[in-house]
Structure 1
Amino acid sequence: MALAINGLDRAFTFQKGNELIALSDPNPSMTVDQVMNFYSNTYPELTTATAQGPEIKNDQSIYTFKTTLGTKG
C-alpha cells in the first residue's frame, strides 16, 4: 500500500480598513512573496506589506499580509 502525502492548502488574508479580505492561492508553486505581488495589482496597499505566518487553522496554512500604509508613529 502506497502512502500519499498531502500538503496543507494555503490561504491569505489582509485587513483593509475594517474589512478582513480573504484571498485564495492563485498557484501553489508560487512563493508567499510572489502571491503578495500577484495580488498587489488588485490591492495596491500590498506593495508595502509584509507576510506573516503561517498559522494553521482548519487544515489550512493561513498567511497574513500586514500593510503599513496609513500607519503613523
Structure 2
Amino acid sequence: MALEVTNLKRSFKFKKDGKMITLADANPAFTLEETVQFYSTQYPELTTATIDGPKVECDNAVYEFKTTIGTKG
C-alpha cells in the first residue's frame, strides 16, 4: 500500500463583532505574518493580532487570528 502525501490548504479565521469570519489563503507563498499584513488593509484590527494554530479541519489547516482590540483586561 503506497502512502499518499497531500498538502493541506490554509484558511484563516477571526472574530469580528461576535461573528467568526473565514478568510481564504490570499497567496500560499505568503508567510503567516505576510497573510496578516495583507488582510490588515481590509480589517485594521488584524494589525495587532496574534496567530494561533493550525487546527486541522477536513483538508484545511485553519489558523485563527486573535485580536485584542475591543477587549478589556
TM-score > 0.5 by shorter chain: yes
Q: Secondary structure at the match of 2:22?
A: strand
The equivalent residue for 1:69 is: 69
Q: How does 1:52-63 map to 2 (within 5 A)?
A: 52-63=52-63
CA–CA separation in structure 2 for the residues paired with 1:32 and 1:6: 20
Deviations 1:4-43 (A, max 9, x none): 6421000000000111110000111111111011000000
2-structure distance, mates of 1:56, 1:33: 19
Q: What residue ranges of structure 2 are gaps of 5+ in the alignment? A: none
Question: What do you get for the CA RMSD once the two structures are aligned?
Answer: 1.3
- 4+ aligned runs moved over 2 Å, structure 1: 3-6
* Number of residue pairs aligned between Structure 1 and Structure 2: 71
Unaligned runs of 5+ in 1: none
Percent identity between the two aligned chains = 49
User: Residue 40 of structure 2 aligns with which residue?
Assistant: 40
Calculate the TM-score normalised by the size of structure 2: 0.91
TM-score (normalizing by structure 1): 0.91
